[in-house]
Amino acid sequence: MTTTIDSSVIGRMNAGASGSVDASQSAELRDNFMTLLITQLQNQDPLNPMENSEMTSQLAQVNTVSGIEELNETLSGITSQIDAGQTLQATGLIGQGVLVPGDRVLLETDAEGQVHTTPFGIELEESADNVQVTITNADGQVINRYDIGPAKAGVESFSWDGKTSEGESAVPGAYRVGIEATRGDDSLDVETLNFAVVNGVTPSDDDGGVRLDLGAVYGQVALDQVRQIL
């Protein structure tokens, strides 16, 4: 008489391969599988032995589980190395100025009365014939509007001289920058970028990566939000 390995064991082995059981459960299932397979071989009918293809198929299933477990361990190690590399890369940005998505520009004057503004940037998917910048105050009033000419695809940084449209120095404070990019008569998609300084690095519980602390004004952003390091 030929015995057959219980299909429920095979089902649990396949479940283990898909990650629904932990390593200890999977090891127990493999032991049960091998015990049943040996029992099957010992009690098979000599006149009607189990086909080689059937034995090979059953052995392949248990080997698949082992292979997937080893692959998962390898991938886990690779992921840990990637996370460590991201953390090391992120810590190197502490104290550095970066461009991240946003539209804020800060203007201040030093002790000698010199005007200083934070840079801003743009990200274009394709080159533009002309880029127009509009600076507005907290009330939405236009302080200045000017053209910066053509721009290439990718990320470019610029600066505002802190002047109003009348040529006078704007008052210190926070302003908004709006960008319009055109090529011919067509408007292009453009992402506005603002300047911030990286104050620290915080591990992210959501994706296992890291987030950059840009201070109270800008909060935290993911590492992949950095478009340019200044």
Predicted confidence (pLDDT) per residue in 176-227, tens digit: 999 999 999 999 999 999 999 999 988 776 666 788 999 988 899 988 899 9
Distance in angstroms (rounded) separating the CA atoms of residues 50 and 60: 15
Q: Is the pLDDT of residue 160 over 80?
A: yes
Model pTM above 0.95? no
- What per-residue confidence (pLDDT) applies to 10? 47
- The reply to whether 76 and 109 lie within a common domain is no
Ranges 27-36, 48-57, 88-97, 125-134: which has the least confidence: 48-57
Question: Hey, how many other C-beta atoms are within 10 angstroms of the C-beta on 190?
Answer: 18
Is residue 226 a part of any domain in this protein?
A: no
Distance in angstroms (rounded) separating the CA atoms of residues 52 and 55: 5
- The reply to whether 14 and 56 lie within a common domain is yes
- The reply to whether 116 and 73 lie within a common domain is no
Q: Is the pLDDT of residue 23 over 50?
A: yes
Is residue 212 a part of any domain in this protein?
A: no
Counting the structural domains of the chain, the total is 2
The domain in which residue 118 lies consists of: 101-194
Strands of the chain, DSSP E: 97-101, 104-109, 115-117, 120-124, 128-136, 142-151, 154-158, 173-183, 186-188, 190-197, 200-203, 210-213, 220-222, 228-229
Using alpha carbons, select from 97, 100, 95 the residue that is nearest to residue 227: 100
Residue 217, Ramachandran bin (φ over 0: left; ψ between -120 and 50: alpha; else beta): alpha
Domain-terminating residue out of 61, 91, 121: 91
Is residue 121 a part of any domain in this protein?
A: yes
Domain-terminating residue out of 91, 126, 145: 91
Summarize the confidence of residues 129-145 as an average pLDDT. 96
- What per-residue confidence (pLDDT) applies to 91? 86
Domain-terminating residue out of 63, 91, 119: 91
Distance in angstroms (rounded) separating the CA atoms of residues 151 and 133: 12
Residue 97 CA, chain-centre distance (Å), reads: 20
Burial (0-12, 13-18, 19+ Cβ within 10 Å), 166: exposed
pLDDT, tens digit, 9 for 90 and up, residues 84-118: 566 777 888 899 999 999 999 999 998 888 899 99
Distance in angstroms (rounded) separating the CA atoms of residues 221 and 196: 11
Is residue 130 a part of any domain in this protein?
A: yes
Residue 126: DSSP 8-state:
S
Is residue 222 a part of any domain in this protein?
A: no
- The reply to whether 166 and 113 lie within a common domain is yes
